[in-house]
């Protein structure tokens, strides 16, 4: 057992734990200042008032500086008056005590300001035009295309934000951007394709990048020594070498392009992913170079007659006028509504292994075409579901595609957006790459993408299984005195028996429409205005708005020219339309407000372009 004799002697200049506690009780400043080493040991025996006086001397610059140059902030509770001096303390007057108590002195620690982040210099890097294959689940988004408003979250806005944060692009408006198509709110996409000019890790002398002024490359100037050399020989001349199966630059970095997938996906939400990328020509356009597009629409069987639905679907094959299977777009005057459907089929979903019940079998409609009108697929699916539920005959497809028999679209609701997915977009001579040369060193990019999709799949399948087990329990629930008094029946059986009697129509997903006591046939419903009339009215309203704007501008100029001369008030819509000859308006000689009211009454399903942010020429995939 150790005794006091065995304990080591105290080291000069080092304060014991007991001494530190004692000094903390008396006034922690001495312990704090005396806990160091060197010059501060002489302050260990000073009282609190002596320390404060010394600090004020150092701050004012009157005392000799033996301590650090930067002053420390003195808290208020240390500056409060405690005029009782310990033995050996310096005498202080009453005025000093009052001043100390009433006006505490604070000093700031001068810390160097953080240097502003140096702006990213895109001119140091080469650029190249690439295509990205994008997969997204569009349920929480307001469509694919950016709406130009921050409060509307779209898939495209998320992509731009991620690429801007990663310094992949400098400006979305100046990156030669193009999309294969735009999908509506709630519609998903597994094969969407976009193309844009991005930053590249390749040298500016590489044949794969875009060459512009300032890159140091002059096509007319060629090194005669490089003529006849292959690409591998040119790279070897530039110092590129192989090490352990990895191609590296002269400085040891991995030779190749940026890991676009890994860089961008790390900044994207979990329901948006860039699946693959491909180098493309500078004039490549994702919209106009697409050969065909493929959609899929998933739906449960329920009471649908699949064979009858198939018989109606084959009538869409070929080139037809689909003006009655789309939504009118007031922003563009479309004159050609002909579209070509290459393939269409309705098949079961093979991997669906949920409760074995005939009505819960899932089917998928697969549709392949060159281009599509706005909401075309959803309108086609709405009519097909009506045929499958026995509300319409397959011949209604022929009647709606006959412009002479049906020049305007009947009023009917579109199918749900939830089950619709842009499945694939095909391009000739494009080889999609799922990794880059950098990923050869670390294969985390393809694995991270795969695990992310697997986790999302597991999450949604788990939710689906819970609903399935809930339905199994409800199937066995017993109902008493149904269907007749004194009888009993299971809820699942009773639901199947009354499925055809229910007064609603399934429009896919969770969307059902109440049809009233009697279903109205499509050809007997009130029809919208013909597209020619809509285009004429839209152009007339546009002309009136431009004339009003010009009139108000002229009125403002006249009023500003001379403050003494009073100018007439700006013309309103009502006063301006009175000056327009009725013959110039023809059958639409009314105010714009009256025209809009009449059109809303005649065409309940038509919405303005400002409300939908539609752009017909830039949305061949709008379905």
> In this structure, are residues 372 and 385 in contact, taking their beta carbons and an 8 Å threshold?
no
Q: 152-165 burial by CB neighbour count: b if 16+ within 10 A, else e?
A: eebbbbbbbebbee
Residue 378: pLDDT over 90: yes
Beta-ladder partners of 292: 426
Kindly state the average pLDDT of the residues 477-504. Answer: 87
Give CA–CA dist 68/614, Å, rounded.
68
Residue 32: pLDDT over 90: no
CATH code for the part of the protein at 123-214+235-289+422-454: 3.30.70.580
Handedness of CA 518, 519, 525, 531 (dihedral sign): positive
What is the band of 598 on the pLDDT scale with cuts at 50, 70, 90? Answer: very low
Q: Which residue has the higher pLDDT, 602 or 369?
A: 369
> In this structure, are residues 435 and 261 in contact, taking their beta carbons and an 8 Å threshold?
yes
pLDDT more than 70, % of the chain: 64
- Nearest-10 crossing angle of helices 376-388, 306-313: 140
- Nearest-10 crossing angle of helices 531-561, 592-602: 160
Report, as residue numbers or ranges, the catalytic residues.
184
Give CA–CA dist 364/350, Å, rounded.
10
Residues in contact with 482: Cβ distance below 8 Å, sequence separation at least 6, in sequence order: 488, 489, 494
Q: Give the residue extent of every domain in the chain.
A: 17-102, 123-214+235-289+422-454, 294-419+476-528, 531-556+568-602
Give CA–CA dist 258/263, Å, rounded.
8
CATH 3.20.20.140 fits 294-419+476-528, yes or no: no
Residue 532: pLDDT over 80: no
Please check whether the two domains, 123-214+235-289+422-454 and 294-419+476-528, share a CATH topology.
yes
Kindly state the average pLDDT of the residues 373-381. Answer: 94
> In this structure, are residues 52 and 107 in contact, taking their beta carbons and an 8 Å threshold?
no
Beta-ladder partners of 134: 192, 274
Residues in contact with 568: Cβ distance below 8 Å, sequence separation at least 6, in sequence order: 555
What is the band of 99 on the pLDDT scale with cuts at 50, 70, 90? Answer: very low
Which of 253-257, 401-405, 495-499 is predicted least confidently? 253-257
**Two tokens at 12?**
């000069």
pTM of the predicted protein model: 0.67
Residue 73: pLDDT over 50: no
- The pLDDT tens digits for 260-284 are 998 999 999 999 999 999 999 999 9
User: Which value, to the nearest 10 degrees, does the dihedral of the CA atoms of residues 464, 466, 467, 468 take?
Assistant: 80
- The pLDDT tens digits for 101-150 are 444 443 444 445 555 667 889 988 899 999 999 999 999 999 999 887 66
Which of 27-31, 515-519, 573-577 is predicted least confidently? 573-577
How, if at all, do strands 504-506 and 512-514 pair?
Answer: antiparallel
What is the band of 588 on the pLDDT scale with cuts at 50, 70, 90? Answer: very low
The residue written with tokens 């096509």 in the block is 219
Give CA separation, 187 vs 137, 452, 570, in Å: 7, 20, 45
Give CA–CA dist 348/276, Å, rounded.
29
């Amino acid at each position: 057992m150790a005794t006091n004799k065995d304990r080591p002697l105290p080291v000069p200049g080092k304060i014991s734990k007991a001494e530190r506690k004692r000094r903390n009780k008396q006034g922690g400043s001495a312990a704090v200042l005396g806990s160091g080493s060197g010059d501060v040991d002489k302050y260990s025996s000073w009282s609190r008032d002596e320390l404060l006086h010394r600090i004020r001397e150092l701050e004012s610059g009157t005392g000799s500086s033996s301590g650090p140059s930067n002053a420390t902030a003195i808290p208020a509770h240390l500056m409060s008056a405690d005029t009782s001096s310990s033995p050996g303390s310096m005498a202080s007057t009453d005025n000093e005590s009052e001043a100390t108590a009433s006006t505490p002195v604070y000093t700031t620690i001068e810390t160097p300001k953080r240097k502003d982040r140096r702006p990213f210099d895109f001119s140091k890097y080469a650029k190249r035009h690439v295509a990205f294959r994008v997969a997204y689940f569009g349920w929480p988004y307001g469509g694919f295309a950016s709406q130009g408003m921050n409060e509307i979250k779209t898939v495209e806005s998320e992509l731009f934000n991620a690429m801007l944060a990663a310094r992949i692009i400098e400006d979305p408006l100046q990156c030669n951007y193009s999309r294969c198509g735009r999908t509506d709110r709630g519609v998903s996409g597994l094969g969407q394709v976009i193309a844009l000019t991005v930053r590249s890790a390749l040298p500016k002398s590489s044949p794969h990048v875009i060459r512009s002024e300032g890159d140091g490359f002059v096509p007319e100037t060629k090194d005669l020594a490089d003529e006849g050399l292959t690409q591998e020989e040119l790279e070897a001349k530039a110092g590129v070498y192989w090490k352990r199966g990895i191609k590296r630059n002269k400085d040891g970095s991995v030779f190749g392009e940026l890991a676009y997938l890994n860089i961008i996906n790390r900044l994207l939400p979990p329901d948006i992913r860039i699946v693959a990328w491909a180098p493309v020509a500078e004039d490549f356009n994702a919209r106009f170079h697409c050969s065909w597009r493929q959609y899929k629409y998933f739906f449960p069987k329920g009471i649908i007659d699949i064979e009858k639905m198939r018989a109606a679907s084959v009538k869409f094959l070929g080139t037809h006028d689909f003006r009655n299977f789309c939504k009118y777009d007031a922003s563009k005057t479309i004159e050609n509504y002909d579209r070509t459907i290459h393939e269409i089929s309705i098949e079961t979903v093979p991997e669906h292994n949920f409760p074995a019940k005939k009505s819960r079998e899932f089917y998928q409609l697969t549709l392949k075409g060159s281009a599509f009108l706005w909401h075309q697929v959803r309108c086609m699916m709405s009519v097909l579901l009506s045929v499958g539920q026995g509300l319409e005959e397959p011949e209604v497809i022929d009647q709606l595609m006959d412009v002479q028999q049906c020049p305007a679209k009947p009023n009917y609701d579109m199918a749900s957006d939830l089950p619709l997915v842009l499945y694939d977009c095909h391009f000739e001579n494009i080889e999609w790459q799922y990794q880059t040369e950098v990923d050869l060193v670390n294969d985390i990019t393809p694995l991270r993408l795969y695990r992310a999709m697997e986790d999302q799949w597991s999450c949604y399948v788990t939710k689906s299984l819970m609903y399935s087990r809930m339905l199994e329990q409800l199937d066995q629930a017993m109902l008493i005195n149904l269907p007749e008094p004194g009888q009993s029946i299971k809820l699942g059986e009773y639901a199947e028996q009354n499925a055809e009697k229910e007064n609603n129509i399934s429009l896919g997903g969770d969307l059902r429409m109440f049809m009233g006591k009697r279903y109205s046939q499509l050809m007997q419903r009130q029809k919208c205005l013909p597209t020619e009339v809509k285009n004429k009215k839209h152009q007339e309203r546009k002309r009136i708005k431009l004339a009003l704007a010009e009139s108000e501008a002229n009125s403002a100029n006249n009023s500003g020219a001379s403050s003494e001369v009073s100018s007439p008030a700006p013309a309103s819509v009502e006063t301006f339309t009175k000056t327009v000859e009725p013959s110039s308006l023809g059958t639409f000689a009314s105010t714009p407000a009256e025209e809009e009211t009449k059109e809303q009454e005649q065409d309940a399903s038509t919405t303005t372009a400002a409300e939908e942010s539609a752009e017909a020429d830039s949305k061949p995939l709008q379905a």
